[in-house]
Structure 1
Amino acid sequence: MNKGQRTAHRILDAAEAQFAQRGFGAASLRDIAAMAQIQQPGLYKHFSSKEDLYRQVYERALRPLTELMDQIIAGPADMPVFYELTDRLTDLLAIHPNISRLLIRAVISRDFDPDEIALGWLSQLVDYGRRLNATLVVRNDDANLVALQIVAVFNTLFGFFWSSPLIETLTGQPAVDPKLMDCQKQILRQLVMGFDKQPAGG
């Protein structure tokens, strides 16, 4: 990685943290530049605008997730593969834990302050959830049950990271502690195993 790439990644790290804490509107390029330890005009050597920077924050964090899900969907359909997927999604989200806070912020504020970039990614993730559910978990015609299963996985997967301050308060350890990460993966596996035992709605 050359110097320019390292600087761009440092800017993205700072932007991800600032956007997660303050939201797109309130986060300032001045504060992002200061956190990245560069002058504000230097941002424009790497990103054309604040919106471009915001888009790239999501692209960097979530594109690896969608590429992984594409690989799983294209492969053999069995439960062990789905377990591997939930483990690997957890590991990928741990690299950019603030992205979970951005997505939760978008869900909460969608009615009064819609974030089209975040909501676009959420729509993609929901669509992947439907496809994965149909391919790897259970096959039923109950749309309500499928919707709730998708929400349950989303909440368990992303909620682990956006609630990391609470986890740290309760356990005295960072959420990304290897033992806690292993516990999280087991909880996700148990959740998905339960889908096979849920009766279809009538």
Structure 2
Amino acid sequence: MTEATPRQGRKGERTRSRILDSAMELFSRSGFHAVSLRDIAAHAGLTHAGLLHHFPGKDSLLIEVLSRRDEIDAKVMSRPDPGDLLGRVVDQVTRNMRTPGLVGLYVKISGEAADPDHPAHQYFVERYQRLRRQGARLLSELFSRASPPLPHDPDAVSQQLIALIDGLQTQWLLEPEAVDMRASVVAFLAQLGLDVPSAPAEPDPSPPPSPATTP
């Protein structure tokens, strides 16, 4: 069997990236169930067989699309000292305001994935378990470092913070000019008595496109 050359490997990576971009766009626009592999292949400029060469099915493609952003965020959040946590959380919210397509994808697919039969159901269950656990651990350290220590329940606050960010994303997608996600998160944290970074947000000035126009 002939091994792939470096050029072939790079071409394959570019093709996979094009497929993932197309899948993200179509899933964001129409949801998981309404999009077929043939739709994605056509959008990516490939044949159906060409797409199957890189991804065996729609379920595996969806999980890889979702995991793509998680990998980026994991690199940013991988070594958070508790003292840096708030800045990292706020920075992540700011980054989300520059990527309406990914935000739309998560909002749409996470809602669909409440169905236990959805292929991304377990992915989101584990994702939220991980976020709650990591958030509670870091918040617990922040609360104990405060002087005097803050009396909040870190498990409850971690859950509330995740719920706040998720809810803000839906409102922002619907009315971006009226919802400042960063400012709302900063206000929530300040109400808990936590020092919040004061650096201004730098969101993409253009509003997120409607589902009728590609994200």
Cα distance in 1 for partners of 2:61, 2:117 equals 23
Name the structure, 1 or 2, with higher relative contact order (CA <8 Å, separation 6+). Answer: 2
Length-normalised TM-score, structure 1: 0.69
1:35 aligned residue:
43
Structure 1 residue ranges, 4+ long, deviating more than 4 angstroms after superposition = 110-114, 137-142
Which protein has the bigger helix share? Answer: 1
Q: Which digits, 9 at most, give the CA deviation of each residue in 1:106-130, with x for residues without a partner?
A: 56x2467581122222222222222
Structure 2 distance, partners of 1:136, 1:28, is 46
1:61, distance to aligned residue in structure 2 (A): 0.8
Cα gap change, 1:24/1:157 in structure 2, threshold over 3 Å: closer, same or farther?
A: same
Which position in structure 2 is the counterpart of 1:58? 66
Query: What is the CA-CA distance between 1:103 and the residue it aligns to?
Result: 5.4
Do structure 1's residue 190 and structure 2's residue 187 form an aligned pair?
Answer: yes
Structure 2 CA distance for partners of 1:21 and 1:155, relative to 1, 3 Å:
farther
Q: Which blocks of at least 5 consecutive residues in structure 1 are unaligned? A: 173-179, 198-202
Report how far residue 56 of structure 1 moved. 0.8
- Is the contact between residue 37 and residue 57 of structure 2 (CA under 8 Å) also seen in structure 1? no
What is the CA deviation profile of residues 29-84 of structure 1, one whole-angstrom value per residue up to 9, with x for unaligned ones?
11222222322222123223222211211211112223322210xx3x32xx2332
Taking the aligned partners of 1:147 and 1:22, their CA distance within structure 2 comes to 34
- Cα root mean square deviation, aligned: 3.2
Would you say 1:128 and 2:137 are equivalent positions? Answer: no
State the alpha-carbon separation in 2 of the partners of residues 112 and 40 from structure 1.
25
Alignment of 1:43-192 (within 5 A): 43-72=51-80, 75=81, 77-78=82-83, 81-93=84-96, 94-95=98-99, 96-102=102-108, 104-106=110-112, 109-110=114-115, 115-137=121-143, 145-168=153-176, 171=177, 183-192=180-189
Contact kept, 8 Å, 1:33 with 1:40, in 2: the verdict is yes
Give distance in 2, aligned partners of 1:161 and 1:61: 15
Question: Quick check: 1:100–1:158 contact (8 Å CA) kept in 2?
Answer: no
Mapped to 1, the partners of 2:55 and 2:116 lie a distance apart of 29
Distance 1:112 1:38 in 2: 29
Amino acid of the structure 2 residue aligned with 1:88: D
Preserved contact between residue 143 and residue 151 of structure 2 (Cα < 8 Å): no
Deviation at 1:186?
Answer: 2.6
CA distance in 2 between counterparts of 1:117 and 1:161 reads 19
- Matched to 2:128, the amino acid is L
Per the TM alignment, residue 104 of structure 1 is displaced from its structure 2 partner at its CA by 3.6
Identity of aligned residues (%): 21
How many residues of Structure 1 are paired with residues of Structure 2 in the alignment? 178
- Corresponding residue for residue 24 of structure 1: 32
Deviation at 1:190, TM superposition (A): 1.9
| TM-score (normalizing by structure 2) | 0.66
- Is this contact kept in 1: 2:28–2:104, CA < 8 A? yes
Amino acid at match of 1:33: A
Residue 92 of structure 1: CA displacement? 4.1
Shift of 1:4: 3.2
Unpaired runs of 5+ residues, structure 2, are 1-8, 195-215
